[in-house]
Amino acid sequence: MKKNYKKLRGTIAITSLGSGYFSSDQSKEDIYISFQLLNTALNGDEVEVFVYPQLAGDKLRGEVVRIINRKKEKFVGTIERKPKDKFAFVSTDDNKMHVPIFIPNAPEEARDGIKVLAEIIKWTDPRKNPTGKILTIIGKKGDNDTEMESIVIERGFDVGFPGEVEKESELIKKTHDQDLISEIKKRKDFRDTLTFTIDPDDAKDFDDAISFKRLSDGLFEIGVHIADVSHWVKERGLIDKEAIKRGFSVYLVDRTIPMLPEVLSNDVCSLNPNEDKLTFSAVFNISKDGVVKNSWFGKTVINSDKRFTYEEAQGVIDGKIKSPYTKELQDILGITKKMRKGRINNGALEIGHDEVHVEVDAKGTPINISVEKGIDSQKLIEELMVLANREVALFVGGKDSKGLCMYRIHERPDKDSLAELLSFLKKLGHNFDFKSYNLSSKDLNSLLQNISGTDEEFLVKSVVVRSLPKAIYSIDNKGHFAMALKHYAHFTSPIRRYADFLVHKALQKKLEGRQTNKSDTVFYKDMCQKLSQREIEAASAERLSVALKQTEYMITKKGEVRSGIISGITEWGIYVQDIKTKSEGMIKLKEMRDDFYIFSKESFSIVGSRTKKKYSLGGRVKFKVAGGDIERKILDYTLI
């Protein structure tokens, strides 16, 4: 009788095949739920499950008996509709939602092949389709704008801003000049100090600027000046509430979905050159050896002398581009290199700056994909941002971390994750003396240095990142493992991250000597949880936009022979990552007809039963692009 079965509460994860795995703090192992016994449960839902008695040799099984909380009720999908029907179905983009949503009275513009955002309003009978309604008409399936907007809308980001939010931002712009004049008198003035920004060439908003002054032969003043968004965006105002809802700007291949309206992000707050701008600054006296002698924090005004791109700044540093700021850039680079070396010696991970860059034409069609390596000018800026973030966290929270601060924490990976990482690396042919249970960040750096310059470097770095826990926001300071820092916060990007805005608020309160109260603590704690989740959704949208363009690009290379690295091996095929574009595709075992290949789980390889030919993780292969599915963002390769 079911009433005698164990009943548990927890979360369910749906697989791409439609079955589910239930996890609960009350169970040591995940419980398998077949598709027939999900009873309308969707991926991520909080549910109640009956656990069946376990049979010898079988996995633990169960049945969903109650939906406690739906994680997601809004889905992007494509309309399926016959011309004369008043009803329609929405086939969702989410591959873990296996049932189309029934729309009883679909609007006329929701025609067959149109993408929409739909919401489930009722679903209690698993034998029937969920009933829903259409919230937004996005556009024609396959159009670039439609597909890009679908990616962000699916993850809960609005493409445009509500009219009242735009009105509030226009009012700020209207009163900007007068407000600026009166505010400048209250601030420390850096307008006569050499100041510049260094950003990607396609950047639209500029959060941070650097000022530089030589105090003596061995001592320098370096200021990190951050857009003072908190001056313009009033707490609990309409813009603030919208920024809380968004949490982050989302950077897709061909567009940005900003956290703040563009009149603020690209104009009022942005540190554009040759304009007086309000900033919140961290100013340091630093020796030529990269040692911070003292720090100052406060509200400032700057006027940036120059806007550099990374490539332009690098050209100046290397002497390839003439500039009046050559000596200053070279001096700053020398200081930051020593600072970086000290961090790495202390255990900060050198994961690197390799990024997949997609170049698109005016219609959004990908015309080139490359992997961009980090250059010294990027590392220079990164080092100064790390310095400011570290020192602000230490100042706001105090050495004992008792002050209220939104920390950026990164916990040490657990033993199982480290053991799996070492196992993976051994299968690539890398053996190390250290053991997983005491693997330090310094050990990981040693590992990364060993694979530097190899074909599988990008693959190994990706696996290392996946083996580490995600960095999150927290009011409880647990340090930052990857950076080997005891104190760290996000202070330097308030135009694109709401967490930085809150750190600015906490810093100002600290400078004014105001005490935090219980409601502040509750609010910051709640925001830590929300923003950590929002960050995952923003990163997912960014990755999917790249995957979409990789798929579109590689399909145009159908029949072309290319070089790749084996990035994964399963019993049904091998995954290969194209070396030039990092686009991953699958070679199906059933299509490898020169032999019958057997999958070895122990060595993560496949071996030909007749020829004994072996393909292993990290191996270099030649392949042809056979085709792909743009909607599902998957590629098919064939082995040469």
Long-range contacts of residues 351-355, Cβ cutoff 8 Å, at least 24 apart: 351/448, 351/461, 351/464, 351/465, 351/482, 352/448, 352/461, 353/378, 353/379, 354/457, 354/458, 354/461
pLDDT recorded at residue 426:
78
| Burial classification of residue 136, based on how many CB atoms lie within 10 Å of its CB (0-12 exposed, 13-18 middle, 19 or more buried) | middle
Q: What is the mean pLDDT of residues 165-174?
A: 97
pLDDT recorded at residue 369:
97
Q: How sure is the predictor about 77, in pLDDT bands with cuts at 50, 70 and 90? A: very high
Q: Which residue in 322, 344, 311 sits closest to 484, CA to CA?
A: 344
3-state secondary structure of 388: helix
pLDDT recorded at residue 296:
98
Among 132-136, 415-419, 494-498, 634-638, which stretch is predicted with the lowest mean pLDDT? Answer: 415-419
> Does residue 440 register a pLDDT over 90?
no
- Give the up-direction half-sphere exposure of residue 174: CA atoms within 13 A in the CB hemisphere: 6
DSSP 147-206: HHHHHHHHTT--SS--HHHHHHHHHHHHTHHHHHHHHHTTSEE-TTS-EEEEE-TT----
Main-chain phi, psi angles of 594, to 5 degrees = -80, -10
In angstroms, what is the C-alpha Rg of the chain?
Answer: 27
**542, 548, 550, 553 alpha-carbon torsion, rounded to 10°:** -140
Among 98-112, 164-178, 588-602, which stretch is predicted with the lowest mean pLDDT? Answer: 588-602
> Does residue 84 register a pLDDT over 80?
yes
Tell me, rounded to whole angstroms, the distance of Cα 534 from its chain centroid.
9
Q: Which tens digits make up the pLDDT trace of 607-637? A: 999 999 999 888 899 999 999 999 889 999 9
Query: pTM of the entire structure?
Result: 0.92
Q: Which tens digits make up the pLDDT trace of 453-486? A: 777 777 788 888 888 899 999 999 999 999 999 9
pLDDT recorded at residue 428:
74
Query: Residues 6 or more apart from 176 whose CB is under 8 A from it?
Result: 268
Pull the structure tokens for residue 82. 């016959």
3-state secondary structure of 527: helix
C-alpha span between 302 and 312 (Å, rounded)? 22
Q: Which tens digits make up the pLDDT trace of 357-412? A: 999 999 999 999 999 888 999 999 999 999 999 999 999 999 999 999 999 999 99
Among 9-23, 431-445, 536-550, which stretch is predicted with the lowest mean pLDDT? Answer: 431-445
| Burial classification of residue 4, based on how many CB atoms lie within 10 Å of its CB (0-12 exposed, 13-18 middle, 19 or more buried) | exposed
Q: Higher-confidence residue: 296 or 463? A: 296
C-alpha span between 587 and 412 (Å, rounded)? 36
> Does residue 434 register a pLDDT over 70?
no
Q: What is the mean pLDDT of residues 267-290?
A: 97
pLDDT recorded at residue 547:
96
> Does residue 3 register a pLDDT over 60?
no
Q: Which domains does the chain have, with CATH numbers?
A: 2-69 (2.40.50.140), 77-141 (2.40.50), 163-411+470-546 (no CATH), 415-467 (no CATH), 557-639 (2.40.50.140)
The chain-wide mean pLDDT, for the chain, equals 93
- Do the bridges between strand 188-189 and strand 292-303 make them parallel or antiparallel, or are there none, so unpaired? parallel
Main-chain phi, psi angles of 394, to 5 degrees = -65, -40
pLDDT recorded at residue 86:
95
3-state secondary structure of 610: coil
Taking residue 81's Cβ as centre, other Cβ atoms within 10 Å add up to 19
Q: Which tens digits make up the pLDDT trace of 30-53? A: 999 999 999 999 999 999 999 998
Q: Which tens digits make up the pLDDT trace of 321-357? A: 999 999 999 999 999 999 999 999 998 988 766 789 9
Q: How sure is the predictor about 217, in pLDDT bands with cuts at 50, 70 and 90? A: confident
Q: What is the mean pLDDT of residues 556-581?
A: 94
pLDDT recorded at residue 1:
45
> Does residue 575 register a pLDDT over 70?
yes
Among 94-98, 273-277, 282-286, 417-421, which stretch is predicted with the lowest mean pLDDT? Answer: 417-421
Q: Which residue in 526, 484, 490, 495 sits closest to 506, CA to CA?
A: 490
C-alpha span between 157 and 258 (Å, rounded)? 10
